[in-house]
Amino acid sequence: MMDTLDAIPLSLLLKPVDGTRQPHVLLIGPYDPKGGEYTFLAPPLGVWRLAGVLQRSGIPTRVFDPNCCAASPETSLAALLRQPWDVVGISTTGMTLQYDLALAHLTRRLQPAARLIVGGMEATFEPEAVMRLGPFDLAVLGEGEEPLLAIVARLRASSGLEGIPGTAWRGPDGAIQRAHGPALTREGLRNAISETPYEQMPYEQYWERLEASYRIGSLPVKADREARLSEIRSVRLITLNYCPMGCTFCSSTNFLNAAQGSTVKISRLNVPECLTMIQRIVRAQPRVRTIIFQDDIFVFRKDDRVLPLCEAIVAAKRVGEIPPDLQFISTNRIDAMTPERLAALRRAGFRVLGFGVESFSVEILREFNKAQIHARIAPVLEEALRLGITPFLDMILTSPGCKLTDLAENIRQAFVWIVAGCEVGMYPYVIPFSGSAMARDAARLPTTVFERRHIAGTDLSWNQPAKILPLDADTRAAILRIEARFERELLNLQRSVSHLPSRVRSYLWILSAVQEMDGPRHSLPSQHDVTQALRTLLPEFEPATDLGPLSRPQVADGSKAAFRPHATGVAGLGQR
C-alpha cells in the first residue's frame, strides 16, 4: 500500500494544482460538551479521513475539532470563520445532534455565503429532519469521500449541487430529494484509510488532557501509572467498512446500506495493509502505546485474517519494524473467538478485547438478534482471562420486552465476571439511535421516552427519542429506580474522586440494583459483598444511604404524562 501523505509535503498539498483557486473546505467534528466523562475522547476520525482525501486531491482543507480547542468551541469557531470558506461540513451523531446543529447555525450567521454541508450518522438516517433543523444546503449520505470531491468539482465548475450521488437536497417545492450513492470500493476504502492524516491529528493534546484529568503524575505505584498511560496513549484505526450482523439496537450496521439503498459488500484491509497502517501510526504518533482496532467487528466467525495478522505483528515486532511493547485493543463478536485465536491475539500484544455481550439473558439476546452468542460467552471469557487478556464487556441491562428475571440475570452475571477480572460498561436501557431496527419500533412503543432538545442560539427545539424502557411495568419501575440511585451514588463519589474507572461505575450499577431489587428472591449478590468489592478500589467508599428517599421515578407507574406519544414518523426527529 502506498504511504501517500508521507510522500507529499502538506505545503504542496495545499497549493492549487492548475492555477485556479481551489475551494477551501472546513470540516467540523461532532461536538460532545460532556465528552471525557463517559467516553474516551479522541480526534474525530471521520472528518480527519475526509480531510486526508481532500488534501490529497489538492483541496485546502482544515479540521475544526470542537472537543479540543483552546477557547470555547463557539469562540474558536468564530475565530476560524473570520477567513472565508467555500464549503463548511458539519459531522453529526444522534447524541451530539443539538450541539452540532448549534455550531451549524453559528456558521451560517457568520458566513452566509458558505455552502453548508451536513454528514455523518444522523444526516444519513434522518436527512429531512436534520435539514429542517439546520441551515444546510446539502446532506451527504454515508461515506463522505466521493460526494465531497464531487461537491468541490461542481463548485469549481460553478454548477449547482443537486443530484450528486450520495446526497440529499431541498427540491424546488421544498421537499427533500435524495440520490443514493455506492459505498466505497475496497480500493477506495483502502486509499481513504491510508490517506488519514495521522500526523496532523492532535492526539498529543488529547493525551495531555486525559493524563491531567486522571492525575497520572500523582499515582503512587509505577505499574498503575504505566497501565493508565497505555490506556490513554492510544490511537484509533478502522480497517473495515461495516458490520453486517444486524443487531436490532445498532445503527452502524445499517449505515452504508441506507446510503447506498441496497446491501453493501464488506471491505477491509488485508494483513500487509494493516501492518503498513500500524507502522504509519507509530511514525506519525511516536508516543503511542496502544492501537485500537475500532472496526465494528474485528474478527468474523469465518475469518482468514486474524491468525496471519497476529503472526505478522509478532514477526514485525521481532525484527523491530514495530515497537516490541506496542499493545492492541479490538472490538469483537464473542462468538468469533476460539482458544486458538485468543492465544494468537495475546501473543501479538492484544491486552484488552472488547465484546458486545449486551446481556447474559438469552431472551434479551434474542430480542437483540444476538441469541447465538449466548453459549459462547462463558467459555470465551474464561479462556481470555486465563490467557491474561482483559475482556471489556458492553452491556445493556434491559430490553423493551425483558422481565425482572432477565434484569436480575444481568446483575448477577455482571458481578461474577467483574470480580473474575472483566471490565464492564453498562447502559440501563436501549437508546433508540436513528437507523437501528429498534428506533423504527420505538416510534410505536408506549415506553419510548422523548427528551426536549434545544438548539443554542436559535428558538428551535424538538423531541428526540432518548430511551426505550421495558414494557413490563415492574421491570420498568426497577430500572428507573436503579438509574436514579446510580446517579446519586455517582454524584456522591464524584465529589471526592477525580476519575472513576468503568469498574467502579459497574459496581455502582450493581450496588444500586441490589438496593432497589428484591435481592434474595433473585439470588443477587448481597449489598455487603458489592460494597466490599467497591472498597478494594476505593477503600473509603460508603454507600450514599444518607441521601434520603428517592423521588418517585417519572414513569414508574406508566403514567401517560411521562411518555410523550410519538407523532412524527421514524425516530421522532420531527420539530414540534
Subset of 113-132 contacting ligand B12 (CB under 6 A): 117, 119-122
Whose Cβ is closer to ligand B12: residue 244's or residue 543's? 244
- Identify which range of 3-11, 26-34, 399-407, 466-474 contacts ligand B12 by CB under 6 A: 26-34
Whose Cβ is closer to ligand B12: residue 295's or residue 489's? 295
Decide: is 238 part of the binding site for ligand B12 (CB under 6 A).
Answer: yes
d(CA 394, CA 330): 13
Whose Cβ is closer to ligand B12: residue 449's or residue 544's? 449
- Identify which range of 126-134, 431-439, 496-504, 518-526 contacts ligand B12 by CB under 6 A: 431-439
Minimum CB separation from ligand B12 for residue 476, in Å?
22
- Identify which range of 138-146, 244-252, 345-353, 408-416 contacts ligand SF4 by CB under 6 A: 244-252
Decide: is 243 part of the binding site for ligand SF4 (CB under 6 A).
Answer: yes
Minimum CB separation from ligand SF4 for residue 395, in Å?
12
Site size for ligand SF4 (CB under 6 A): 11
d(CA 380, CA 334): 7
- The entry of ligand B12, ligand SF4, none that residue 333 binds, CB within 5 to 8 Å by partner kind: ligand SF4
Closest CA to 255 of 166, 333, 173: 166
Q: Determine whether 459 is exposed, middle or buried from the number of CB atoms within 10 Å of its CB (0-12, 13-18, 19+).
A: exposed
Q: Are 337 and 354 in contact (CB under 8 A)?
A: no
Subset of 83-112 contacting ligand B12 (CB under 6 A): 89-91, 93-96
Q: DSSP string spanning 392-416?
A: EEEEE---TT--HHHHHHHHHHHHH
Decide: is 35 part of the binding site for ligand B12 (CB under 6 A).
Answer: yes
Q: Strand pairing partners for 290?
A: 234, 327
Whose Cβ is closer to ligand B12: residue 138's or residue 381's? 138
**Given 50, 438, 442, 511, the residue binding ligand B12 (CB under 6 A):** 50
Whose Cβ is closer to ligand B12: residue 247's or residue 508's? 247
Q: Report the chain's C-alpha Rg in angstroms.
A: 24
DSSP annotation of 268 reads B
- Identify which range of 5-13, 31-39, 265-273, 479-487 contacts ligand B12 by CB under 6 A: 31-39
**Given 40, 339, 454, 557, the residue binding ligand B12 (CB under 6 A):** 40
All cell numbers assigned to 412: 448477577
All cell numbers assigned to 50: 475526509
Q: How far is C-alpha 465 from the geometric centre of its chain's CA atoms?
A: 18
Minimum CB separation from ligand SF4 for residue 304, in Å?
19
Whose Cβ is closer to ligand SF4: residue 247's or residue 480's? 247
Terminal-residue alpha carbon distance, the chain? 50
Subset of 292-351 contacting ligand SF4 (CB under 6 A): 296-297, 333
d(CA 438, CA 571): 9
Helix segments in 300-355, DSSP class H: 306-318, 339-348
Decide: is 245 part of the binding site for ligand SF4 (CB under 6 A).
Answer: yes
Q: Strand pairing partners for 449?
A: 467
Decide: is 49 part of the binding site for ligand B12 (CB under 6 A).
Answer: yes
Beta-carbon contacts of 307 under 8 Å, excluding residues fewer than 6 positions away, are 340, 341, 344
Q: Are 534 and 415 in contact (CB under 8 A)?
A: no
Closest CA to 412 of 469, 355, 360: 360
Minimum CB separation from ligand SF4 for residue 254, in Å?
9
Report in angstroms the alpha-carbon separations of 417 from 341, 381, 423.
Answer: 21, 8, 8
Decide: is 356 part of the binding site for ligand SF4 (CB under 6 A).
Answer: yes
Q: Are 120 and 92 in contact (CB under 8 A)?
A: yes
Q: Mapping DSSP to helix (H, G, I), strand (E, B) and coil, where does residue 296 land?
A: coil
Chain position whose Cβ is nearest to ligand B12 = 119
Site size for ligand B12 (CB under 6 A): 43
Decide: is 167 part of the binding site for ligand B12 (CB under 6 A).
Answer: no
Q: Are 233 and 292 in contact (CB under 8 A)?
A: no
Minimum CB separation from ligand SF4 for residue 297, in Å?
5
Q: What is the identity of the amino acid at 195?
A: E
Mark 253-292 with x for binding to ligand SF4 (rule: CB under 6 A) and - for no binding. Answer: x---------------------------------------
Q: Are 95 and 66 in contact (CB under 8 A)?
A: no
Contact residues for ligand B12, defined by CB under 6 A: 27, 30, 32, 35, 38-42, 44-47, 49-50, 67, 89-91, 93-96, 117, 119-122, 140, 143-145, 148, 236, 238, 250-252, 294, 296, 433-435
Contact residues for ligand SF4, defined by CB under 6 A: 243, 245-247, 250, 252-253, 296-297, 333, 356
